[in-house]
A and B are shown apart, each in its own frame.
Chain A
Amino acid sequence: MTSIIWYIREFLRPAWISRFLTAKTEPLVTPPYFRDFPVTTENECTQCLACMMICPAPEAIIVVKREGVWRPEITKGHCIRCGLCVEACPEDVLASGRILATKKEEKLLLSGTYHISINPKTCMGCGNCSVVCPVNREIDPSLRSSGTSRSNEVIMRVDTGQNKILHEEKCTGCKTCEEHCPNNAIRVARVVEATEGGKL
C-alpha cells in the first residue's frame, strides 16, 4: 500500500508532469571540450617529429611532405585520441578539444630523452643500424655511398665487430635502427617527463 502511494507521489511531482508533457529528445551534439582526433592549426610544422615520438599507438601519426610543406597526418583508425601529441608539439601545430588552450594557459610540457641499449650477446656487428640511422646519415654523408664511417661525431658506429654508441644525446628516438636490426639487439628507450610552468 505504501508503495502505491509512493508511486502516485512520484507521478504527481510538477517536474515530472511538465517533463512528460514537453518531452523532447535533445539533439546529440559533441561538446566543445571533447578530446577528438587532433586537427592541424595554421602554425608551421618544423618537422621535429615530437608528435611521432610521443604517440602511444603504432603509426597513428606521421609527419609527411605534401606539396613542399611538412604536415602531421593522423590515421583515424589507429589514433586513440589520447591528446599527447598536442601536448608534445613545441610549435602548437596540432589542436584537439580544449588541450591546446589548456597547454598554453598552464604551460604544460612533455619532454623526452632517448637512450640506446645494445645487447652485446645478440649484436653481430652488421652495421645495419648505423647505416640506416637518419641522424648518422646527416652527420656523415659518406654513409650514404660507402656504408662505412670514419667520423667520431655519429651516434653509433661499428668498431671491432661490435656496435659502439658514441653520442647517445644526438638520438631523436625514431626507432629506425630497431626496425632494421635482424636480431632485435638494439633497443631505443623513450623516457618522457611531464612538467608544467615552464620548468624543466
Chain B
Amino acid sequence: MEYLYEKDLRRMKLLILESRRHHAVTIEIAAILGIKPQAARKILIEECDMLLLENLPARCDAARKKGNEIEQKLGIHMLTQATHLISPDAGQKAVADVIEKIESGLEKEIALEEGRTGILELIRS
C-alpha cells in the first residue's frame, strides 16, 4: 500500500532510528542482511512508514523468536512480519530454497550466505 505524504519525512525517520532501542534493532537487521548499519538504516527509511518505524523494536521482539532454526538464522520473520521488507510468500520461498540447497549437499554456511544475498537483492529490487 502506498501512503500519501505531505512532506519529506526522511529527517524525522532518522531521528526515530537514533534512539537506543531502535539503534539495537537496526544493527540486528544489518547483521541479518550482512550489510552495514548505515545501509540498513537507509533501507528502513525508504521502506517503512513513520508508525511502523516507531513500533519497530516491539514488532521485532514479537518476530525474533518465531520459526525454526533456518528461519531464525535468516531472520525471515523479522523481514516479513516485523518490517514488511519482503512479502511473506517471498520469504517462505527463500527459506525453501536454502533448505533445498542444504539437502542437495551444499554446506550449511554457504547455503545461508547465498540465501542472504538473494534476500538482499529481493529487497533492493
Task: Classify A-B as touching or not with yes or no (CB < 8 A).
Answer: no
